[in-house]
Amino acid sequence: MATTHEVLTQIPEKGARRPKKPGRRWVPWLLAVVFAVIAVMAWRAAERRQQEEQAMRAQQARAAALRPVPVAVAKVVRRDFPVFLTGLGSVTAYNTVTIQPRVSGQITRILFREGQHVTAGQLLVEIDPRPYQVQLQQAQGQLAHDQAQLHDALLDLGRDKALVASGVIPRQQFDTQQALVGQLQGSIVADKAQIANAQLNLNYCKLTAPIAGKVGLRMVDIGNIVQPTTGILVITQLQPIAVIFTLPEEQLTPILTGLRRSQVFRVDAYDRTDQHQIASGTLLATDNLINQTTGTLRLKATFPNQDEALFPNEFVNVHIETEVLRHALIVPAAALQHGTEGDFVFAVNSDRTVAEQPVKIDMTQGNYVVLSSGANPGETVVTDGQDKLHVGSHVIPQALQTIVASGAQGP
């Protein structure tokens, strides 16, 4: 029988570690391999999705490239191209007259309508003439009185002349009578001047138009008492009419040279937007000095203005033609594109694809560009929709822009 000590030695101590089983050491490695396989598969799946997205985008880009793009186009033309200088101008009435009376009095008749067109010499206003008729009658009566006295004095002078020759009367009496005749003759001259003055005042009671033009708003009414300083109405001459505008001094050489050669410069007036032509005229003259503050010179142009499209004090944009470029290559300015290698246009091929065509610019004016090289007459270029194009893009022309004959003011 075993002793107590032996039994106790056979009982394992509390907390003593049990030996690990050798078969469980491969589990961590197995988990690591599983995680690595999963990570590789996920990475390859993500890479495959990215490649598919790139392929889809490339396919969409190819499809977009093959899809026709609607664009606006224009033809390259060769024609004469007028060159214009532009400036800001103000319409000025060729003549402006403020009608003022020359005599005082009460207005009895107004014979015009506001805004009416009047002709030179047309009666406009009448002032009460009765005071001046009385003055005329007084002057005429004084003339008749002085003429009667002169007649009597001349008779006396004739008698005295015979008597002084025979020595009946002294010479002094004859000289006194002769002086009296002279005084009466002077009085008659003064009387006639008074009559002329009274007649003139009587004529001034009728106010007529000194020029042909358009009447403005009246400033007086019937019954008003007017003075020589009172303005009654204003007449402005609209046909012809003038436009005064300015140009920088560096642009004046062709104009001044042409004026010295008696060249006639065409001048066109445009509205404030500089898009619509209002009237056409000719350059009349230039000012005699340059404004040193602004470095500009004032010029004056005249316009027939038969349709009265120009109105005094209206602001207009002025285009003055200085020269004409013969047989110039012209394209709309909207067709011009700027790249790293210079200027170019998108030319439309016969198969309705586009190509970048380099061009060289001679000058730009308004909505058009004059080319020195890079295009041929009759070629079609894109004027709108270039942002969706690249070399080889298919296009569908939607609108054909026509270059106007003047070549400078836009379509």
Question: For residue 200, is it within any domain?
Answer: yes
CATH number assigned to the domain comprising residue 232: 2.40.50.100
**pLDDT value of position 166:** 79
Q: What is the DSSP string of 328-389?
A: EEEEEGGG-EEETTEEEEEEE-TTSBEEEEE-EEEEEETTEEEEEES--TT-EEEEE-GGG-
Q: Give me the CATH number covering residue 356.
A: 2.40.420.20
In this structure, is residue 230 part of a structural domain?
A: yes
CATH number at 316 reads 2.40.30.170
pLDDT tens sequence across 332-361: 988 888 888 888 998 888 888 888 889 998
The CATH number linked to 177 is 1.10.287.470
User: Of 299, 325, 351, which residue is a domain's last?
Assistant: 325
Instruction: Tell me if residue 319 falls in helix, strand or coil.
Output: strand
Q: Of 158, 186, 204, which residue constitutes the final position of a domain?
A: 204
Residue 167's domain spans which residues? 129-204
Unique residue bearing structure tokens 């396919």? 59
Residues in the chain with pLDDT < 70? 1-26, 60-66, 403-411
In a domain, 6, yes or no: no
Tell whether 350 is covered by a domain.
yes
End-of-domain residue from the set 268, 298, 325: 325
Tell me if 10 is assigned to some domain.
Answer: no
Three-class SS of residue 133? helix
Contact 272, 310 (CB under 8 A): no
Are the C-beta atoms of residues 267 and 328 closer than 8 Å to each other?
Answer: no
**Bridge partners of residue 296, in order along the sequence:** 248, 291
Looking up tokens 């020359």 gives 102
- DSSP string of 267-315? EEEE-TTS-SEEEEEEEEEE-SS-BTTTTEEEEEEEE--TT--S-TT-E
The pLDDT score that the predictor gives to residue 64 is: 59
Question: In this structure, are 183 and 222 located in the same domain?
Answer: no
**153 and 286 part of one domain:** no
Examine residue 162 and state whether it is found in any structural domain, yes or no: yes
Cβ atoms of 225 and 137 within 8 Å: the answer is no
Say yes or no: 266 and 339 in one domain: no
392 domain residue, yes or no: yes
Please report the pLDDT score of residue 110 as a whole number.
94
Asked whether residue 32 is domain-assigned, the answer is no
CA angle 242, 245, 250 (to 5 degrees): 145
pLDDT at position 411, please? 34
Same domain, 218 and 106: yes
- For the chain, what is the domain count? 4
pLDDT at 144: 94
Residues 151 and 164 in one domain: yes
